[in-house]
Amino acid sequence: MSKHFYSHLKKEFKDHLIDYLLLITAGIFFLILLNIFRGQQVVEFFILVSFAFFYIIWGVFHHISNETLHLKTVVEYILISFIVIFLLKIIILP
């Protein structure tokens, strides 16, 4: 099973390298912004929400290009975004 999983991941990254590079670059950029504006709670929250919206839009675009977009997938991206905002804002960045 793990062999199939890794071969699928390898194929996915190979087929959509630009998409994943964009997501990783944006994630690093947002982490740098969080570090720059550390202690400014309003700006930190705005950065977190901005990344969450970016992540949702990225996910929708990625699945549109794969022709695998479903409502369940969009809801999943929204829930993951809210969980990340909650965890970062409430637990890590008080």
Give dist(CA 81, CA 27) in Å, integer.
13
Check residue 94 and give its pLDDT.
67
Residue 8's pLDDT band, with cuts at 50, 70 and 90, is confident
22-77 pLDDT, tens digit each? 999 999 999 999 899 988 888 988 999 999 999 999 999 999 988 888 999 999 99
What residues have CB less than 8 Å from 77, skipping those under 6 apart? 55, 56, 59, 60
Domain map of the chain by residue range? 2-92
Q: Is the pLDDT of residue 2 over 80?
A: no
Q: Is the pLDDT of residue 84 over 70?
A: yes
**pTM given for the model:** 0.84
